[in-house]
A = this chain, B = another copy of it.
Amino acid sequence: MDAQSPVGKVETWLAHFNEALATQNMEALKGLFAEDCYWRDLVAFTWNIKTMEGRDAIAEMAGSVLGDVRPCNWQIEGDASEADGITEAWLTFETDAVRGKGHVRLNDQGCWTLLTTAQELKGHEEAKGPTRPHGVTHGAFKDRETYAEAREREARELGYTKQPYVVIVGGGQGGIALGARLRRLNVPTIIIEKNERAGDSWRKRYKSLCLHDPVWYDHLPYLPFPDHWPVFSPKDKIGDWLESYTKIMELNYWTRSTCERASYDAATGEWTVVVDRDGEEVILKPKQLVLATGMSGVPNMPDLPGMDAFKGEIQHSSQHPGPDAYAGKKVVVVGSNNSSHDICAALWEAGADVTMAQRSTTHIVKSETRRELAWGALYSEEAVANGITTDTADLIFASLPYKVLPALQKAACDETRKRDADFYDRLEKAGFKLDFGADDTGLFMKYLRRGSGYYIDVGASELVADGSIKLAHGQVTEMTETGVKLEDGTEIPADLVVFATGYGSMNGWAAKLISQEVADKVGKCWGLGSDTPKDPGPWEGELRNMWKPTQQEALWFHGGNLHQSRHYSQFLALQLKAREAGLPTPVYGLASVFHKS
């Protein structure tokens, strides 16, 4: 082995790294990392989702956990590669509890980024491939219970005579992906979904809705879309897919079911979850409760003077039924992000007279540009052709610490701005107020920091640019009998006012279902602490409360887009399985709470 080859460099580093860990030599460990360095761990070392930033933080974590974790058997997987002074490679390793996969980037000082992820719990692996079940018990047995009978019995008993270990509130893509992983890990789970059918949370939205992310980004675990699946899935198609998926994966998925309230008994380590199941009250007693109610939390509905007097209809965007009833009507849509644009365009298509009331600047990016510049390398047909599987893409993405993302995203944002300069010009000429993020880092950073403030253009921007969708500016200060009044005194007549005014933090669901006390204890969800609008500091390094232990024992938050639902459900499922299996799960660095919402 040539020590100066990429593989040689990684092997040398890995040997030293292994030695430092095995001997718990923290000084040696620090010496292996560059001055600017990151170790991101997904459940392998910390039983947490945590990025250690800098040598001291890394040494502190390692010093704290190594006695329990005992990592070993570090190997390079495949080849290493080198470009722009960075050598990178995939790693495999084990700890006492898990088999892991990692990724390392070295520069001339040492390690710049290290990712460690738990892939499976030893002794609690998913039964798949060579270990898949046999399916039929060959032989002959008096009063044999068939597959269908066993499945029917499970569905009948779970939640009644047998308690689930996990209850997931919310059966959208998040709850479904997590449910599928827990099913494969053999963790008894019930998913509570308010709608009649799985997928209705998509079907019931406005009729022109399609996914804004391309198909390669949207796969669920285990069962990829067939290769004729459209690039941008229409909402009903994704709804039908989710419904088939729940059946194929045999989830215990309770439709027409609403979680009424939940409370935790710390003494017994048990939740009491009151569910209205299609009119029947059922009390569930799970050990773990997951809120997968959508990362958007509870709708923000402003309380304006004059609302009672308004003679038309008022809706939050989440209640908007689509445009069909509003042909020829005057509609004001308050807000200028994704929902507002989608709703305005669909209303215009249906023949309504539409005004968008823009309250603050908005970031716009054309869907095709984003598809190419944001996802092309990892999630595209080209990536598939280059052998980048969905799992590989997810891990590459995970290997980039949140701290270094803005610089990478800014480059893509700058290129977007240059490429679509004419488009942005036309929008500004029409009076639309644009931004490109607090530090010009664009859409994805806004998504991570605040989950709002942008529109992925699939057509509405041209309607704004050419005046088909009218623009108004400023906060709505009150409503009159016939419309809305803006802060500058402008009055806009309306038959319908749609408040596309976003959602509160996801811990609003904890307030609603559990208690304000618990909601305050766990604090704000989502966001990084970037000290940009709607994402106050201090810097936290990971998304707040998502997919990891919270300040409330046995309460978890799961959500995000299809990519996050797929990828992070793996780590949340492993955390839940470890607890169900009774493994020790000492959490390192449980995040403090700095904001209540």
Contact = CB atoms under 8 A, between A and B. Distances in A.
A134 B232 contact: yes
Contacts of A132: 215, 227-231, 381
Interface stretch (A236-244, A404-412, A552-560): A236-244
Interface in A111-155: 126-130, 132-136, 138-144, 146-149, 151
Contact of A140 (B147, B243, B463): B463
A215 B234 CA distance: 32
Contacts of A381: 129-130, 132
B140 A348 contact: yes
B236 A147 contact: yes
Interface string A202-245: 01000110110001000000110011111111111100110110
B134 A208 contact: no
Nearest to A133: B230
Instruction: Give the one of A133, A138, A241, A345 with max B CB within 10 A.
Output: A138
Interface stretch (A99-107, A454-462, A527-535): A454-462
Contacts of A458: 136, 138-139
B135 A231 contact: yes
A459 B130 contact: no
Given A129-B227, A226-B222, A244-B244, A135 B232 contact: yes
B146 A208 contact: yes
A196 interface: no
B459 A135 contact: no
Contact of A244 (B211, B234, B248, B345): B248
A491 B387 CA distance: 68
A135 B233 contact: yes
Contacts of A227: 128-129, 132, 222
A247 interface: yes
A92 interface: no
Given A126-B228, A228-B128, A247-B240, A208 B144 contact: yes
Contacts of A208: 136, 144, 146
A234 B147 contact: yes
A403 interface: no
Contacts of A127: 228
Contact of A136 (B139, B146, B234): B234
A584 B542 CA distance: 62
Nearest to A147: B234
Nearest to A233: B135
B459 A129 contact: no
13 contacts: A130-B381, A132-B227, A132-B229, A135-B215, A136-B230, A138-B367, A138-B459, A146-B234, A146-B236, A147-B237, A148-B236, A148-B237, A240-B248
Given A127-B228, A133-B228, A146-B207, 17 more contacts: A129-B381, A129-B384, A132-B227, A132-B229, A134-B230, A135-B230, A136-B234, A138-B459, A140-B348, A140-B349, A140-B459, A142-B351, A144-B349, A146-B208, A149-B207, A226-B248, A226-B249
Interface of A: 126-130, 132-136, 138-144, 146-149, 151, 184, 203, 207-208, 210-211, 215, 222-223, 226-237, 240-241, 243-244, 247-249, 345, 348-351, 367-368, 381, 384, 457-460, 462-463, 468
The 7 closest A-B pairs by CB, nearest first: A135-B230, A147-B234, A136-B210, A148-B236, A244-B244, A135-B232, A139-B459
